[in-house]
């Protein structure tokens, strides 16, 4: 049974959408969070703050994930100590952020982020919003009951209190987690307007946690999607990475389309999805990313972005070839055009666009099975990514499978055998090439 915690504080409900400021306290014996599952560095930070007389709680995704029996990606701490006070307690502490100072406590490669409780910026604080309702300032310290209201979903707004190992719940998040329900805190439209990225976060959490989004919330997202157009492309890049590199890319891709948000992120791709082969190719790229993440293999954003933009790049290349350009030039021009159009919406750092171009350019070179050229392909630094890309195209039915097979078999041989095969191929009668299934194969 949950116990109601009677706050001695004066109520200030009017600022908080009429929701009570008294939290439900879920005591240690009532919930399943065990300190065994909290990383040592996070416990150290919590205990030291507590011993120094400050409030210290684990917050956000960590509490949510622990309740769901998952291992949290990171552990965030919230406290009533100011960043300067935190920094006095820890030698390994760095203060970051200009607008809102945060303390980062370093333990080897792990960082525990400690944030001071922040006050909300509800509808009453008009001076903190621009005309579309977006939050401009978010830098006022507050108390724990203030801090709750600036969080996005109820499931992300639970506080695990190190003082007595209880969970402090102001918003019904504990119940929502048990019902696998994603619910925004406060008025949905206001909250999405304040920060439209919350719409993408909704898709991400729904996909990752298999939580349901209610119809009202869906309606709000369908209406407010265009607000994503105002978000800096660099922030959207970070968010797209979280959507597609957290092991749930395939599900996120499907949900983004269901909520009609995909078009704001990849406007040049959205119309291509009507083509079954293209849709299947992107789905396979997502699936393979998810598989790699599950196996702890490295992933690069370049691969996913290359897969995403492949259909329009192929089309544009074809058009360029038809207007008389040699294939390699046609491809580079198409790549430049599509990349510069894409980065206006979701930016892609240069170090990744270079790899995307390599992956695309290598596709036609896989047709060479002989001599120096094949050898150069095999030893190209981006061979592996480009080869995976080639095989996904074959699996999606865009091209025949024979090139993918040939390069697969080649890699299974030792370097001596590889040399022999490649040079034998040079003398062999020209291999009959099966035609690509489609004209825009990028394979000319
Ligand atoms: P993940 O498991 O992906 O890290 P998370 O819930 O920890 O999920 P973070 O982006 O790490 O998400 O943010 C930590 C916490 O900060 C969230 O749980 C939420 O309470 C709050 N938060 C983050 N971004 C926003 C936002 N845009 N609007 C409101 N609250 C946010
Ligand atoms: Mg987190």
177 lies in the same domain as 281: no
301 lies in the same domain as 178: no
183 lies in the same domain as 38: yes
Give the pLDDT mean for 50-72: 97
Find the CATH number of the domain harbouring 320.
1.10.3090.10
What is the band of 417 on the pLDDT scale with cuts at 50, 70, 90?
confident
Can you tell me the distance from the alpha carbon of 171 to that of 163, in angstroms, rounded to the nearest whole number?
21
Contacts of 167 (CB under 8 A, 6+ apart): 25, 26, 31, 33, 63, 67, 158, 159, 160, 161, 174
pLDDT at 432 over 70: no
Residue 297 belongs to some domain of the structure: yes
Top-confidence residue, 105 or 440: 105
Residue 308 belongs to some domain of the structure: yes
Q: Which of 173, 191, 209 is the last residue of a domain?
A: 191
- Alpha carbon of 75 to ligand 2 centroid (Å): 7
Give the pLDDT mean for 189-214: 96
Distances (CA, A) of 396 to 382, 400, 440: 21, 10, 14
Return the best residue to mutate from 64, 116, 156 for the ligand 1 pocket (most ligand atoms within 8 A of CB): 156
Can you tell me the distance from the alpha carbon of 188 to that of 213, in angstroms, rounded to the nearest whole number?
12
pLDDT at 441 over 60: no
Distances (CA, A) of 307 to 73, 183, 266, 280, 359: 27, 33, 12, 11, 9
What is the band of 204 on the pLDDT scale with cuts at 50, 70, 90?
very high
pLDDT at 12 over 50: no
Residue 53 belongs to some domain of the structure: yes
Give the pLDDT mean for 268-277: 96
Can you tell me the distance from the alpha carbon of 161 to that of 59, in angstroms, rounded to the nearest whole number?
9
- Alpha carbon of 152 to ligand 1 centroid (Å): 7
Q: Which ligand is nearest to the CA of 201?
A: 1
User: Could you give the residue ranges of the DSSP H alpha helices within 120-248?
Assistant: 144-147, 173-178, 188-194, 197-209, 215-224, 233-244
Q: What percent of the chain has pLDDT over 70?
A: 86
175 lies in the same domain as 312: no
Least confident of 92-106, 224-238, 278-292: 92-106
Can you tell me the distance from the alpha carbon of 258 to that of 250, in angstroms, rounded to the nearest whole number?
13
| Residues 327 and 317 sit within 8 Å (Cβ to Cβ) | yes
Task: Name the closest-CA residue to atom 30, ligand 1.
Answer: 151
Top-confidence residue, 286 or 133: 286
- Alpha carbon of 345 to ligand 2 centroid (Å): 24
Residue 197 belongs to some domain of the structure: no
286 lies in the same domain as 185: no
12 lies in the same domain as 107: yes
Q: Which positions are catalytic?
A: 74, 76, 152
48 lies in the same domain as 176: yes
- Alpha carbon of 39 to ligand 2 centroid (Å): 14
Q: What is the mean pLDDT of the chain?
A: 88
Domain that residue 38 falls in: 3-191
Burial of 414 (0-12, 13-18, 19+ CB in 10 A): exposed
What is the band of 138 on the pLDDT scale with cuts at 50, 70, 90?
low
Q: How many domains does the chain have?
A: 2
Residue 240 belongs to some domain of the structure: no
| Residues 332 and 363 sit within 8 Å (Cβ to Cβ) | no
40 lies in the same domain as 184: yes
Specify the pLDDT at position 115. 96
Which ligand 1 atom minimizes the distance to the CA of 62? Answer: 7
- Alpha carbon of 145 to ligand 2 centroid (Å): 20
Give the pLDDT mean for 402-409: 85
Return the best residue to mutate from 151, 187, 231, 252 for the ligand 1 pocket (most ligand atoms within 8 A of CB): 151
153 lies in the same domain as 33: yes
Q: Which ligand is nearest to the CA of 241?
A: 1
Per-residue pLDDT tens for 81-137? 999 999 999 999 999 998 788 999 999 999 999 999 998 655 444 455 566 766 555
Q: What percent of the chain has pLDDT over 90?
A: 73
Task: Name the closest-CA residue to atom 18, ligand 1.
Answer: 60
Q: Which of 191, 210, 234 is the last residue of a domain?
A: 191
183 lies in the same domain as 40: yes
Task: Name the closest-CA residue to atom 1, ligand 1.
Answer: 61
Task: Name the closest-CA residue to atom 28, ligand 1.
Answer: 152
Which ligand 1 atom minimizes the distance to the CA of 64? Answer: 6
Specify the pLDDT at position 375. 79
Per-residue pLDDT tens for 299-323? 999 999 999 999 999 999 999 999 9
Give the pTM.
0.87
172 lies in the same domain as 284: no
12 lies in the same domain as 112: yes
Q: Which ligand is nearest to the CA of 193?
A: 1
Which ligand 1 atom minimizes the distance to the CA of 60? Answer: 18
Specify the pLDDT at position 329. 97
Residue 112 host element (H or E): strand 110-116
Residue 258 belongs to some domain of the structure: no
Query: Ligand 1: residues whose CB is within 6 Å?
Result: 60-61, 73-74, 76, 151-152, 156-157, 195, 197-198
Least confident of 279-283, 296-300, 372-376, 433-437: 433-437
Residue 40 belongs to some domain of the structure: yes
Return the best residue to mutate from 57, 61, 72, 206 for the ligand 1 pocket (most ligand atoms within 8 A of CB): 61
Which ligand 1 atom minimizes the distance to the CA of 198? Answer: 27
Find the CATH number of the domain harbouring 81.
3.30.460.10
Specify the pLDDT at position 15. 43
Q: Which of 161, 191, 221 is the last residue of a domain?
A: 191
Sign of the torsion angle spanned by Cα atoms 323, 281, 218, 234: negative
Please count the other Cβ atoms lying within 10 Å of the Cβ belonging to residue 389.
24
CA 223 to chain centre: 22
Give the pLDDT mean for 132-159: 83
Residue 229 belongs to some domain of the structure: no
Give the pLDDT mean for 16-33: 81
Q: Comparing C-alpha atoms, which of 82, 64, 58, 80 is closest to residue 161?
A: 58
Specify the pLDDT at position 427. 58
């Amino acid at each position: 049974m949950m116990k109601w915690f009677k706050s001695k504080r004066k109520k200030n409900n009017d600022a908080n959408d009429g929701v009570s400021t008294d939290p439900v306290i879920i005591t240690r014996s009532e919930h399943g969070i065990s300190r065994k599952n909290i990383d040592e560095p996070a416990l150290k930070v919590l205990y030291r703050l507590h011993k120094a007389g400050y409030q210290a709680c684990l917050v956000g995704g960590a509490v949510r994930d622990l309740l769901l029996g998952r291992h949290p990606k990171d552990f965030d701490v919230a406290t009533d100590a100011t960043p300067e006070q935190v920094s006095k307690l820890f030698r390994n502490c760095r203060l970051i952020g200009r607008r809102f100072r945060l303390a980062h406590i370093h333990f080897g490669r792990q960082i525990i982020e400690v944030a001071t409780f922040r006050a909300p910026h509800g509808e009453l604080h008009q001076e903190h919003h621009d005309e579309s309702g977006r939050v401009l300032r978010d830098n006022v310290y507050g108390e724990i009951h203030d801090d709750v209201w600036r969080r996005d979903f109820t499931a992300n707004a639970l506080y695990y209190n190190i003082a007595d190992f209880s969970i402090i719940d102001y918003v019904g998040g504990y119940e929502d987690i048990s019902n696998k329900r994603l619910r925004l805190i406060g008025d949905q439209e206001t909250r999405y307007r304040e920060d439209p990225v919350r719409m993408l976060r909704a898709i991400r959490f729904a996909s990752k946690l298999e939580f349901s989004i209610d119809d009202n919330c869906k309606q709000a997202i369908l209406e407010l999607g265009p607000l994503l157009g105002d978000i800096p492309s660099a922030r959207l890049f970070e968010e797209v990475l979280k959507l597609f590199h957290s092991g749930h890319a395939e599900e996120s891709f499907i949900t983004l389309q269901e909520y009609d948000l995909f078009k704001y992120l990849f406007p040049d791709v959205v119309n291509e999805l009507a083509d079954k082969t293209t849709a299947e190719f992107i789905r396979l790229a997502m699936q393979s990313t998810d598989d790699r993440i599950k196996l702890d293999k490295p992933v690069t954003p370049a691969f996913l972005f290359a897969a995403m933009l492949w259909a329009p790049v192929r089309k544009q290349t074809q058009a360029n070839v038809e207007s008389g350009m040699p294939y390699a030039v046609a491809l580079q021009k198409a790549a430049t055009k599509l990349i510069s159009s894409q980065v206006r919406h979701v930016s892609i750092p240069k170090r990744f666009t270079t790899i995307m171009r390599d992956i695309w350019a290598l596709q036609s070179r896989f047709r060479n099975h002989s001599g120096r050229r094949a050898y150069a392909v095999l030893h190209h630094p981006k061979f592996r990514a480009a080869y995976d890309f080639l095989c996904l195209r074959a699996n999606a039915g865009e091209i025949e499978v024979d090139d993918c097979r040939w390069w697969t078999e080649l890699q299974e041989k030792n370097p001596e055998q590889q040399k022999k095969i490649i040079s034998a191929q040079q003398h062999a009668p020209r291999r009959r090439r099966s035609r690509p299934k489609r004209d825009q194969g990028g394979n000319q």
